[in-house]
Amino acid sequence: MENVNENRMPLIGDPLPKMKVVTTHGVKNLPDDYAGKWLVLFSHPGDFTPVCTTEFVAFAKRVDEFKELNCELMGLSIDQVYAHIKWEEWIEENLGVEIPFPIIADDGKVGKMLGMIHPGKGSNTVRAVFVIDDKGIIRIILYYPQELGRNIDEIVRVVKAMQISDKNKVAMPADWPNNGLIGDHVIIPPASDVKTAKERLKSKEFECYDWWLCHKKL
């Protein structure tokens, strides 16, 4: 692995550390092999476990939605690649779902580096989610305990929301696109000077509760 600061895990806004990983789809170089694409990198506690199985089926069924967002999926756990392959076969044979994305066979280095190791649970990884943008920058980090499976709707939502935010230089309200106050509107960054603040309230381009809370439909 290259350019990895092992003294701390990467944070939001940091580049994903460069690493070479073994996966069910062969060796991958992160984040270089995904340059120009968004990536959802998610860890699970272990193969052949019930909650993880439901999650992988759920992710697999939503692959096309992620691809429409120019976003790829990649799983990870501290299991050998042979276990990953056998688990994939079991899922396809018994549940009728093919796992179309790669799964990293981690020896513990990636999990430790990204803060995925579950405290007090040996080498098991937590249910971590790293959303990495098309420039290799970590934009979102989510953690779930072993007992709670992830909500795939939320992961699709945050990828879509961040892409819209980046493209339009806007912010997204709570529960977007179904916010209780402004529906599917987006929030305009607050004015940074008196002149702009006064103009905001007269603008026909926005709707405003006040000069610091203006919104519009894209």
Just list the catalytic residues: 52
Strand order across the beta sheet in which 213-216 lies? 186-188, 213-216, 207-210
Cβ-defined contacts of 177-182 (< 8 Å, 24+)? 182/207, 182/215
Q: Cα–Cα distance between 142 and 151 in angstroms, integer? A: 11
DSSP character string of 157-198: HHHHHHHHHHHHT-B--TTTTSBTTTBT-EEEPPPSSHHHHH
Q: Cα–Cα distance between 172 and 174 in angstroms, integer? A: 7
| 9 token code pair | 């895990």
